[in-house]
């Protein structure tokens, strides 16, 4: 298969960049991720709430909320008021997060 | 001719880069899976009698760590011979059971297998419902709840439950605490623990010294609370009765009846030492990746040393990265080697852990 010199040059540059990224990852040099940028650019306040039966309580402790949400079986998109995500296991307790909070949670080491 | 030569060089560079990318990609995958973490030496014992001196310092520290029991970290957790795994929600009993069997298989010292089964808070929502603590009114009901949950957990292979909550109020979930005043809560918690432990599952009173489920956190990072006599009463009662085998300490900075001296309780030597005076069971940290704790230290390494140095027996670290868990063990090991954490303290914790796992410990 014939590949033009120009194409090969572009492929080599791309491979070089990929190699650099892989080297940085291997030596655990942390680069800001797209998720972090998204979180920082989002000016919305992170929001979390807990619901159980008829009770619905807004919860200020975002870190703990993230951990509890992570313990659930699944998080799926579900719009309710200011909240965009619902994390739950079965029909019981539910943790509600807005997108800002959800993006924050996903960056935590336990997620 | 020159053009052809340059093309050949480009091709050579391409093949070289491609090989390097594939190699480094594979190495990154292996590293992420913790396959570069060295395997710990085998532990030899007979008839469930362990000589503490036969364990390396690394093995001892590893016994003090409980991690999230994700299947993808099956090998590194086993290789490091960690103290326990905490399981989050799964779809059915079969998956829970198989995960636990796989983890426990061929482990010289079995893992603690832990859950947060409190009633309304439960990782088993897809399997069945449990009575919420707030719906329990009599000691008989609390005992039955303990028996029921203990049987269920034991059948699946769990041996340590992070319940009951003995905080006096729950303003957030409104279902995690027993009803009534501190005396009633203490009695109900005692009955629950007796029931749970009768089925072979250790109960954990949490979150010492109280006020964890009511504190609002306006600054998001530092949580403080004034602890009253009534907050501590359930712990005093449970310690008097002598049934409670584990207590979980929170990250709250406390004043009043329990003074953490401006440090999160879990990292306060004073709080843990005072608790230890009347309690020879397991003292367990709450999960350590909370900003209330993290922001208290300049570096994560300082936090690792801080929670071990405080005298906790078991540290909950649910970081998914096995290399980070291994690094934590190395950081704590270095702190022990330079005398910042006494090895006798590590030995005492490991002895408690091994005894709770059913071993006789000699040294």
Tokens read off for B19: 């090989």
Report the chain B residue with the minimal C-alpha distance to residue A63: B290
Distance from CA of A75 to the nearest CA of B (A): 12
Q: How many CA atoms lie within 13 A of B317 on its CB side?
A: 30
Nearest to A109 among B28, B124, B319 (CB): B319
Distance from CA of B238 to the nearest CA of A (A): 27
Distance from CA of A90 to the nearest CA of B (A): 5
Going from N- to C-terminal start, the domains of chain B cover 1-32, 42-362
Most distant pair of Cα atoms in chain A: their distance:
68
Beta carbons of B133 and B119 less than 8 angstroms apart: yes
Do β-strands A55-58 and B49-51 pair in parallel, antiparallel, or remain unpaired?
unpaired
**How far is the C-alpha of B280 from the C-alpha of B114, rounded, in Å?**
20
pLDDT of residue B114: 98
- Mean pLDDT for A9-17 is 94
CB contact under 8 A, A89 and B6: no
pLDDT mean across residues, chain A: 88
pLDDT of residue B218: 45
Tokens 């649910």 belong to B318
ipTM of this complex: 0.87
- Mean pLDDT for A67-94 is 92
Distance from CA of A45 to the nearest CA of B (A): 12
CB contact under 8 A, A71 and B20: no
Q: B98-102 — which CB contacts under 8 Å span 24+ positions?
A: B99/B69, B99/B71, B100/B156, B100/B157, B100/B158, B101/B157, B102/B71, B102/B74
Distances (CA, A) of A13 to A19, B13, B41, B83, B346: 10, 10, 45, 47, 52
pLDDT of residue B216: 62
pLDDT of residue B212: 86
DSSP string, B231-245: HHHHHHHHHHHT---
Residues of B in contact with A110 (CB under 8 A): 68, 287, 289, 318-320
Q: In 3-state terms, what secondary structure has residue A51?
A: strand
CB contact under 8 A, B11 and A8: yes
Residues of A in contact with B13 (CB under 8 A): 12
Rg value, chain B, Cα:
23
CB contact under 8 A, A72 and B88: yes
Report the chain A residue with the minimal C-alpha distance to residue B115: A71
Nearest to A64 among B6, B120, B290 (CB): B290
Instruction: Supply φ then ψ for residue B191, to 5 degrees.
Output: -65, -40
CB contact under 8 A, B125 and A62: no
Task: Given CATH 3.10.180.10, say whether it is the number of domain B42-362.
Answer: no
Full pLDDT tens readout for chain B, 363 residues: 677 777 788 889 999 999 999 999 999 998 888 888 988 888 877 888 999 999 999 999 999 999 999 989 999 999 999 999 999 999 999 999 999 999 999 899 999 999 999 999 999 999 999 999 999 999 999 999 999 999 999 999 999 999 999 999 998 899 999 999 999 999 999 999 999 999 999 999 999 999 888 856 544 556 889 999 999 999 999 999 999 999 999 999 999 999 999 999 999 999 999 999 999 999 999 999 988 888 889 999 999 999 999 999 999 999 999 999 999 999 999 999 999 999 999 999 999 999 999 999 998
Mutate to test the interface with B, among A11, A64, A95 (most CBs of B within 10 A): A64
- Mean pLDDT for A42-57 is 88
How many inter-chain contacts (A to B, CB under 8 Å) are there?
120
Tokens 């619902």 belong to A86
pLDDT of residue B103: 96
Interface of A to B at Cβ within 8 Å reads 5, 8-9, 11-12, 15-16, 18-19, 22-23, 25-26, 28, 50, 52-53, 55, 57, 59-64, 67-68, 70-73, 88-93, 108-111
Distance from CA of A31 to the nearest CA of B (A): 16
The whole-model pTM stands at 0.90
């Amino acid at each position: 298969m014939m590949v033009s010199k120009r194409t090969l040059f572009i492929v080599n540059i791309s491979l070089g960049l990929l190699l650099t990224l892989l080297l940085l990852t291997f030596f655990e040099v942390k680069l800001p991720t797209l998720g972090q940028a998204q979180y920082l650019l989002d000016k919305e306040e992170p929001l979390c709430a807990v619901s159980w039966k008829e009770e619905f309580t807004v919860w200020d402790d975002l870190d703990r909320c993230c951990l509890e949400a992570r313990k659930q079986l699944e998080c799926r998109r579900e719009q309710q008021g200011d909240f965009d995500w619902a994390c739950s296991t079965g029909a019981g307790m539910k943790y509600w997060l807005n997108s800002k909070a959800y993006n924050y949670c996903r960056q935590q080491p336990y997620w | 001719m020159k053009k052809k030569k340059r093309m050949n060089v480009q091709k050579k560079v391409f093949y070289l880069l491609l090989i390097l990318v594939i190699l480094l990609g594979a190495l990154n995958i292996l590293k992420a899976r913790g396959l570069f973490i060295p395997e710990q030496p085998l532990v030899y014992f007979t008839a469930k009698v362990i000589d503490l001196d036969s364990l390396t310092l690394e093995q001892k520290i590893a016994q003090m760590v409980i991690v999230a029991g994700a299947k993808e970290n099956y090998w590194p957790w086993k290789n490091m011979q960690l103290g326990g795994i905490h399981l989050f929600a799964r779809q059915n009993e079969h998956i829970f059971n198989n995960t636990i069997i796989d983890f426990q298989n061929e482990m010289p010292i079995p893992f603690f297998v832990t859950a947060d089964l409190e009633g309304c808070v439960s990782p088993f929502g897809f399997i069945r419902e449990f009575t919420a603590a707030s719906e329990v009114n009599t000691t008989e009901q609390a005992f039955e709840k303990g028996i029921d949950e203990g049987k269920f957990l034991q059948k699946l292979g769990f041996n340590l439950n992070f319940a009951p909550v003995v905080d006096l109020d729950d303003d957030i979930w409104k279902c995690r605490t027993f009803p009534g005043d501190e005396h009633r809560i203490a009695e109900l918690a005692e009955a629950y623990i007796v029931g749970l432990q009768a089925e072979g599952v250790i109960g954990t009173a949490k979150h010492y010294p109280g006020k964890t489920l009511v504190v609002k956190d306006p600054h998001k990072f530092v949580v403080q609370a004034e602890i009253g006599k009534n907050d501590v009463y359930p712990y005093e009662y449970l310690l008097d009765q002598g049934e409670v085998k584990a207590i979980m300490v929170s990250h709250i900075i406390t004043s009043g009846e329990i003074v953490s001296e401006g440090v999160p309780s879990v990292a306060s030597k004073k709080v843990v030492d005072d608790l230890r005076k009347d309690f020879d069971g397991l003292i367990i940290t709450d999960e350590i990746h909370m900003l209330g704790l993290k922001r208290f230290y300049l570096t994560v390494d300082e936090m690792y040393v801080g929670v071990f140095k405080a005298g906790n027996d078991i540290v909950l670290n649910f970081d998914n990265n096995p290399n980070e868990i291994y690094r934590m063990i190395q950081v704590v090991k270095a702190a022990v080697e330079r005398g910042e954490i006494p090895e006798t303290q590590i030995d005492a914790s490991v002895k408690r852990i091994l005894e709770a796992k059913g071993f006789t410990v000699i040294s």
